[in-house]
């Protein structure tokens, strides 16, 4: 089923607070049970992975209930329903909407909203009843920007020469911490008799073990097959090396993946276009930081007594 929004959680959490003191942690499982969520749904995380979706949404529901004066903090991490909260349960017997909260006197001031400056625009206290938790909106936006950037990065890679791509692959591997320098890693490029080897990196800083690299700049719809992987492994044997990385801008078909999964004396790692771009973003290869946004949250430990 569709996960409940934090608005959906408002009245059930207020009902729980009417029976006993609650905490942000204690409401997650009962709310998940109420909406009959599966194990997979309960474990679903927000984009950053810092918390589950339900932890985020029940937490924001409690924040909104607190801002509305429907529950109040009574001890470390513990909240209790207020008289206004009990009145709300009677007044709204089936559900509590965001409009109901906005109608509470002083709602805007509790959020630091100046009506004179809002000019009718939607604000923190005016999200729709189908809204997800604000932090999810932020992270979803970040993920969307990252996905768009990934498409642009791959498109720009394909517009470059094969030699550029070979150097790019080596830059990524060196940024990941493989030993050696860009000059030494690229020393193998373009050599006669290289048997398809496009570069080499040291597995360690001292160069005790070497890894050969092959880079295939293919169109996204042109897969790498088993024969290509077998040929690369043969090249490694010809170089007297037992480890290799085959990187492409496209993808590996199932026969190629199954061939590598079966294993052999030669260890080969396959990196497709999606994985390559993800590594470029993670290690800032071909991209730069446009801006840094700092998201702050309340430090509950600071304000809570021992």
- Which tens digit of pLDDT belongs to each residue from 114-144? 544 444 444 444 454 445 677 777 777 788 7
Residue 150 confidence (pLDDT) above 60 = yes
Every domain range in the chain assigned CATH 3.40.1350.10: 153-282
d(CA 218, CA 38): 41
Residue 290 confidence (pLDDT) above 50 = yes
Every domain range in the chain assigned CATH 1.10.10: 10-132
> What is the pLDDT, as a whole number, of residue 123?
46
The larger pLDDT score, comparing residue 136 to residue 192, is at 136
Q: What pTM was estimated for this model as a whole?
A: 0.64
The larger pLDDT score, comparing residue 273 to residue 143, is at 273
In CATH terms, 10-132 corresponds, of 1.10.10, 1.10.260, 1.10.3470, 3.40.190, to: 1.10.10
**Inter-residue contact 181 to 207 (CB < 8 Å):** no
CATH architecture for the domain at 153-282: 3-Layer(aba) Sandwich (3.40)
Q: At 183, is the pLDDT very low, low, confident or very high (cuts 50, 70, 90)?
A: low
CB neighbours of residue 105 within 10 Å? 7
- Which tens digit of pLDDT belongs to each residue from 54-91? 998 999 999 999 999 999 989 888 999 999 999 999 99
**Inter-residue contact 47 to 98 (CB < 8 Å):** no
> What is the pLDDT, as a whole number, of residue 304?
59
HEC-encoded secondary structure of 176-244:
CCCECCHHHHHHHCCCCCCCCCCEEEECCCCCCCEEEEEEECCCCCCCECHHHHHHHHHHHHHHCCCEE
């Amino acid at each position: 089923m569709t996960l409940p929004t934090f608005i959906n959680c408002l009245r059930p959490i207020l009902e729980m607070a009417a029976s006993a003191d609650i905490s942000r942690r204690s409401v997650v499982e009962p709310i998940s049970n109420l909406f009959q969520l599966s194990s997979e749904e309960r474990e679903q995380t927000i984009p950053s992975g810092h918390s589950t979706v339900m932890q985020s949404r029940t937490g924001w529901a409690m924040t909104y209930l607190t801002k509305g004066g429907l529950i109040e903090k009574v001890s470390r991490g513990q909240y209790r329903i207020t008289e206004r909260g009990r009145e709300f349960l009677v007044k709204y017997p089936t559900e509590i909407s965001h409009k109901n909260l906005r109608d509470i006197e002083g709602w805007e001031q509790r959020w630091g909203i100046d009506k004179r400056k809002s000019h009718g625009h939607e604000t923190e206290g005016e999200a729709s009843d189908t809204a997800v938790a604000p932090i999810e909106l932020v992270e979803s936006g970040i993920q969307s920007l990252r996905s768009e950037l990934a498409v642009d990065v791959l498109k720009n890679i394909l517009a470059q020469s094969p030699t550029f791509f070979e150097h790019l692959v080596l830059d990524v591997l060196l940024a990941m911490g493989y030993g050696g320098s860009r000059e030494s890693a690229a020393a193998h490029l373009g050599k006669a008799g290289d048997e398809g080897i496009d570069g080499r990196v040291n597995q360690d800083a001292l160069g005790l073990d070497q890894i050969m690299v092959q880079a295939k700049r293919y169109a996204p719809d042109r897969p790498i097959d088993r024969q290509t992987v077998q040929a690369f492994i043969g090249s490694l044997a010809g170089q007297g090396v037992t480890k290799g990385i085959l990187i492409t801008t496209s993808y590996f078909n199932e026969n190629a993946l199954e061939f590598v999964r079966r294993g052999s004396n030669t260890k080969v790692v396959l990196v497709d276009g999606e994985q390559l771009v993800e590594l470029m973003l993670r290690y800032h290869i071909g991209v730069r930081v446009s801006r840094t946004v700092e998201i702050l949250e309340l430090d509950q430990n600071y304000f809570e007594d021992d």
